[in-house]
Amino acid sequence: MTTEAVRAALSRQEIELPSWAFGNSGTRFKVFTQPGVPRSPEEKIADAAVVHKYTGVAPSVALHIPWDKVDDYSALAAYAKEQGVRLGAINSNVFQDDDYKLGSVTHPDPAVRRKATDHLLECVDIMDQTGSRDLKLWFSDGTNYPGQDDIQDRQERLATALKEVYERLGDNQRMLLEYKLFEPAFYTTDVPDWGTSYAHCLELGPKATVCIDTGHHAPGTNIEFIVAFLLRTKKLGAFDFNSRFYADDDLMVGAADPFQLFRIMNEIVRGDALDPDRGIAFMLDQCHNIEEKIPAIIRSVMNVQEATAKALLVDRDALRTAQQSGDVLGANAALMDAYNTDVRPLLAELRESQGLDPDPVAAYKRSGYFEKITKDRADGQQAGWGA
């Protein structure tokens, strides 16, 4: 790829920000609050718009219902537009109600399943108002003890609920089915892996696709293989980017394993799936528990950009030639040459050519925004866990 083509691809890249990353979060032991944290969906959107202002590649914000519940979603969409961003995926929440102790859409009680399915349908109603394309589904459903519930019945209940929601989707709407190996259920999880998600999506139809949350795998899982498989079968809908050392750590993407992020983006570039027109949503799903939130999110966006730039720099011809001639070391070197390239000057130049500061974190720090929100948001209830 020529330098011009690399720049063009990078300038069209889009990374979606999660509203919840701007709120307070923590571990199950403690939530540390921070000054200046948003108190409303509007303030979360305003913060997301700041990240877009300094990076130029984060034009949309994912919402979480009910965390971002408002009376008028059209007005919220208009507010986002005024701020220079748009509303993205609607994330459902069927894991924070006492009724869901034994599950939501897979609960043994049909009344609880009805309540959970109704919430998912409500999320589609919201999408109609926000203009969102994607409904993101993550189920905490599962069991803690062998024998606790019938595993096969739970799969059937899941399929039934998904089908009802799928049929409610509009022509330009999609369902993203996220999976997670374990937690909060520890014995069985009803959607534990990409294969389960893929099988349900296949059964549902073309508007159902898999969401890969990079933190939701067993240690050592080859995530880029999953990417390659789902690209081939046109069932990759989205990423929830974050990084992990142990379990679902929700740390900044690219922080724990930048090489893994590069390998993932390499499959994306190889599959010609980077452009927003290709329909894959590249979202962040992170919690900033001890670090300052807005600069952490800017840093995360930059980490994805850097991995993408390296993937775009892979000499595809040299790689293909080496692969086809059985030159194992040559093929590996073609990949590693790109990974070991310092792409920071390229990205700094790209930002300058777009009228942005070459160093988005420094530009944010100089802007006085943090001082302003700390002052403006001194009163009221901060958004986030434990709120």
The binding site for Mn ion (CB under 5 A) comprises 213, 240, 285
Q: Which residue is nearest to Mn ion (CB)?
A: 240
We find the least distance from the C-beta atom of residue 260 to Mn ion, in angstroms, to be 16
We find the least distance from the C-beta atom of residue 209 to Mn ion, in angstroms, to be 14
Nearer residue to Mn ion within complex by CB, 68 or 149: 68
| Residue 146 backbone class (left: φ over 0; alpha: ψ -120 to 50; beta: rest) | beta
Question: Is residue 292 within 8 Å of residue 34, measured between CB atoms?
Answer: yes
Helix orientation angle between 344-353 and 3-12, rounded to the nearest 10 degrees: 70
Q: Are strands 281-284 and 208-213 parallel, antiparallel or unpaired?
A: unpaired
Nearer residue to Mn ion within complex by CB, 117 or 242: 242
We find the least distance from the C-beta atom of residue 320 to Mn ion, in angstroms, to be 34
We find the least distance from the C-beta atom of residue 211 to Mn ion, in angstroms, to be 7
Which residues share a beta bridge with 384?
24
Give strand ranges (E) for the chain.
16-18, 60-64, 86-91, 134-137, 142-143, 174-178, 188-189, 208-213, 236-241, 281-284
Nearer residue to Mn ion within complex by CB, 34 or 214: 214
Question: Is residue 382 within 8 Å of residue 33, measured between CB atoms?
Answer: yes
Nearer residue to Mn ion within complex by CB, 68 or 285: 285
Nearer residue to Mn ion within complex by CB, 284 or 335: 284
Q: By three-state DSSP, how is residue 243 classified?
A: strand
Nearer residue to Mn ion within complex by CB, 134 or 149: 134
We find the least distance from the C-beta atom of residue 213 to Mn ion, in angstroms, to be 4
We find the least distance from the C-beta atom of residue 253 to Mn ion, in angstroms, to be 12
Instruction: For residue 383, give the nearest of 4, 37, 30, 47 by alpha carbon.
Output: 37
Question: Is residue 258 within 8 Å of residue 264, measured between CB atoms?
Answer: no
Buried b (16+ CB within 10 A) or exposed e, 230-248: bbeeebbbbbbbbbbeeeb
We find the least distance from the C-beta atom of residue 42 to Mn ion, in angstroms, to be 23
Unique residue bearing structure tokens 């349900």: 200
Instruction: For residue 15, give the nearest of 249, 285, 210, 227 by alpha carbon.
Output: 285
Nearer residue to Mn ion within complex by CB, 280 or 314: 280
